[in-house]
Structure 1
């Protein structure tokens, strides 16, 4: 069983809606029958599938696991703490609650934002050009994450920027009502508190201007896929997996029959349709950013959730979808956003500079892609 971005965005939303209407919890895991043997007397490989929610999106999993002991029923398995799918969900929820969420008090990002929001500059924390800064300590993991994001931000000329927290809240990107268009003056004011290039990284910490707010939403799902990959690597019983966290996907190992993983890409303008399918082998990361994921049309203008850091408004680059395939979840997520903001020519150049494969869909339906993408992408007929 393959998983697809399209299924995550479509069928699984229908499943969640159905369960909510029935008053059922929005989660599920199921074990299939033994589907392969690794040799005479070897333990069977079984398939476990799961649909759940974390980090504000749908998480769908298909894992192939070689085990020697199995629960008598699906209900029994769901109660076991060592369930692989349950472990993945635990990792994602911990990542959100302890590190990435700006909403959850106590998370690392929320702590940094709270310090910056105090608006009191340190006495000797000069950020250059006469600007004072707030210092916040960083965990090793967050320090490495922000350093990698900073590099993509610099390489993209600022097209990727995780200091858009005030703009994100102004546009209510994480809320339930995305129909309110802010006034120009509000956008200009919020822009004053952005600019990842203004941030510095002293040893074991970060300096940022007072009032600046981090929002790692542009890369959070990719980071989640990296954490999932690390978990899969730690479990030799898991012989293959494909896990989708919203529009970010990680494939791992191989299917029991040896066939490629199939990851479908949503058509950005034909609801319920696929643009095409990626055929992937081994460990790969896929991330898709598009203007169809969250948007509202006001006076004939589509306002979507991918903001241009230069203007504070939804990016107008001539693209409606970008898909990146590479060897890192964070990088795939970062590049899909940056390439969307940059547009076709600069976006392709950026992806190539990182050795990533890219598929860019222009607003008129034209497909632009790297040479490597042509080998793994099959357009829907």
Structure 2
């Protein structure tokens, strides 16, 4: 017999947020916890708010003290950079600004203006040093945590709800989905599809696991007559070559899954063997519509 769940959805960060709990009686309290935490993330890492911590950091250099939320987000971004050998790099802020992604995507309308297609590597995550809440930030380095913060926030929000309320919980922030606590029977059912025109599949996500999807077609804008997307290749400072439309990976945390999906978009055709070597179930959708899977997809997701 299926377990009763309760859910709520809302608009957040140019995407959809969804919260599901296995104890319907605590949905309101769970939403309050999630809202409070996501507000802290927004205060810390929203590159499109002049008063955010990340924007204030752009005006500073040397050794700076971070808020606890920002320190956690930066630590996770550096861990993703290490895991992916720099394919996911938090120092891409300047590159994204030059490419025209300098405000909320809903406000980037029409052609964002002339484009100087300069091939310029980003400063690189190895120039950053984080010790506790102290970050050494070289002059001229602009941070962007968009490649990791949403996934980290999904993980942490799910942990907070389960820890405080004891309920099983699923938190979805766009394509980043994290769970904590017991799953409903027969498990968390997740619809995997990036765009309406893409092929889809339904998977069963085990309790306490996560899944992430990254895409080269969902966040796009036009600059100098060229279509841009938000996944930057740190080695060029330009949008990664769109070999894949989307990549979906399941892992123990959403932060881990998302780091792998984002790096896969940067690595292109080389990504499949890399993800196979990591032993993670994955689904790759090529731009010509061909699907490629690693071993264990989707059966490897079932506990």
**Higher relative contact order (CA closer than 8 Å, sequence separation 6+):** 2
Once the two structures are superposed, residues 65-122 of structure 1 have per-residue CA deviations (whole angstroms, 9 ceiling, x without a partner) of 165xx9xxxxxx9xxxx6222322222122211x222344554423322213xxxxxx
CA contact (8 A) 2:162 2:169 kept: no
CA contact (8 A) 2:178 2:211 kept: yes
Question: Could you say which residue in structure 2 is the equivalent of 1:96?
Answer: 42
CA distance in 2, matches of 1:166, 1:50: 36
Counterpart of 1:221 in 2: which secondary structure? Answer: helix
Structure 2 vs 1, CA of residues 335 and 306 (structure 1 numbering), >3 Å: closer, same or farther? Answer: same
Q: How far 1:337 sits from its partner (Å)?
A: 1.0
CA distance in 2, matches of 1:203, 1:93: 22
Question: Could you say which residue in structure 1 is the equivalent of 2:20?
Answer: 62
Structure 2 vs 1, CA of residues 50 and 339 (structure 1 numbering), >3 Å: closer, same or farther? Answer: same
CA contact (8 A) 2:166 2:181 kept: no
1:315 and 2:240 correspond = yes
Counterpart of 1:310 in 2: which secondary structure? Answer: coil
* Structure 1 unmatched ranges of 5 or more: 1-34, 37-44, 71-76, 117-133
Question: Could you say which residue in structure 2 is the equivalent of 1:153?
Answer: 81
CA distance in 2, matches of 1:306, 1:376: 27
Q: How far 1:147 sits from its partner (Å)?
A: 3.6
1:263-274 alignment to 2 at 5 Å? 263-268=190-195, 271-272=196-197, 274=199
Q: How far 1:241 sits from its partner (Å)?
A: 2.7
1:333 and 2:258 correspond = yes
Of 328, 348, 362, the residue aligned with 2:272 is 348
1:304 and 2:218 correspond = no
Q: How far 1:207 sits from its partner (Å)?
A: 1.9
Q: How far 1:321 sits from its partner (Å)?
A: 0.6
* Structure 2 unmatched ranges of 5 or more: none
Counterpart of 1:343 in 2: which secondary structure? Answer: helix
Aligned-pair Cα RMSD in Å: 3.2
TM-score normalized by structure 2? 0.83
Q: How many residues align?
A: 298
Q: How far 1:231 sits from its partner (Å)?
A: 1.2
Once the two structures are superposed, residues 285-312 of structure 1 have per-residue CA deviations (whole angstroms, 9 ceiling, x without a partner) of 1111112212247899643221212222
1:50 and 2:8 correspond = yes
